[in-house]
Amino acid sequence: MPPSPSGAQAYEGIGGEAPQAMAGTRPQAYGQGAAPPQAYGQGTPPQQAYGQQAAPSGGFVAQAVIPAERGPSPQSALGLITYSGRGPDLWLSSCHGGAGTSTLAALLTNSASAGRYWPVPAPTGNSRVLLVARSHAAGLLAAQGAVAQWAAGVLPSVQLLGLAVIADAPGKRPKPLSDLVRLIAGGVPRLWELPWVEAFRLGDPPDRMKPPSAYARLIRDVSGLIENGTAL
Supply the pLDDT for residue 16: 33
Instruction: State phi, psi for 162 to the nearest 5 degrees.
Output: 160, -160
87-97 mean pLDDT: 96
Supply the pLDDT for residue 161: 97
What is the extent of the structural domain holding 186?
Answer: 61-227
- Residue 148 in this model has a pLDDT that exceeds 60: yes
Taking the C-alpha atoms of residue 57 and residue 156, their distance in angstroms, rounded to an integer, is 27
Judge whether 146 and 74 are in contact, CB under 8 Å. no
16-31 mean pLDDT: 35
For the chain, what's the residue count?
232
Q: Is residue 220 part of a domain?
A: yes
Q: Is residue 20 part of a domain?
A: no
Q: Who has greater pLDDT, 201 or 115?
A: 115
Give this prediction's pTM.
0.76
Taking the C-alpha atoms of residue 165 and residue 102, their distance in angstroms, rounded to an integer, is 14
pLDDT in tens, 4-17: 333 333 323 333 33
Q: Who has greater pLDDT, 116 or 57?
A: 116
Domains of the chain: total: 1
Supply the pLDDT for residue 29: 36
Q: Is residue 45 part of a domain?
A: no
For the chain, the C-alpha Rg in angstroms (whole number) is 16
| pLDDT above 70 coverage of the chain, percent | 74
129-156 mean pLDDT: 98
Please state whether the peptide bond connecting residue 123 to the residue before it is cis, i.e. omega within 30 degrees of 0.
yes
Q: Is residue 30 part of a domain?
A: no
User: What CATH number did the domain enclosing 69 receive?
Assistant: 3.40.50
For the ranges 7-21, 92-106, 157-171, which has the lowest average pLDDT? 7-21
Q: Is residue 26 part of a domain?
A: no
pLDDT in tens, 183-195: 999 999 999 999 9
Q: Who has greater pLDDT, 20 or 194?
A: 194
Q: Is residue 2 part of a domain?
A: no
- Residue 164 in this model has a pLDDT that exceeds 60: yes
pLDDT in tens, 209-219: 888 999 999 99
- Residue 76 in this model has a pLDDT that exceeds 70: yes
Supply the pLDDT for residue 56: 38
Q: Is residue 147 part of a domain?
A: yes
Supply the pLDDT for residue 230: 66
Q: Is residue 43 part of a domain?
A: no
Q: If pLDDT is split at 50, 70 and 90, which confidence band does 169 have?
A: very high
Supply the pLDDT for residue 232: 56
B/e letters for 20-31, b = 16+ CB within 10 Å, e = fewer, are eeeeebebbebe
Q: Who has greater pLDDT, 142 or 124?
A: 142
HSE-CB at 217 with a 13 A cutoff on CA atoms is 10
Supply the pLDDT for residue 209: 85
Taking the C-alpha atoms of residue 165 and residue 180, their distance in angstroms, rounded to an integer, is 11
HSE-CB at 94 with a 13 A cutoff on CA atoms is 32
Supply the pLDDT for residue 203: 85
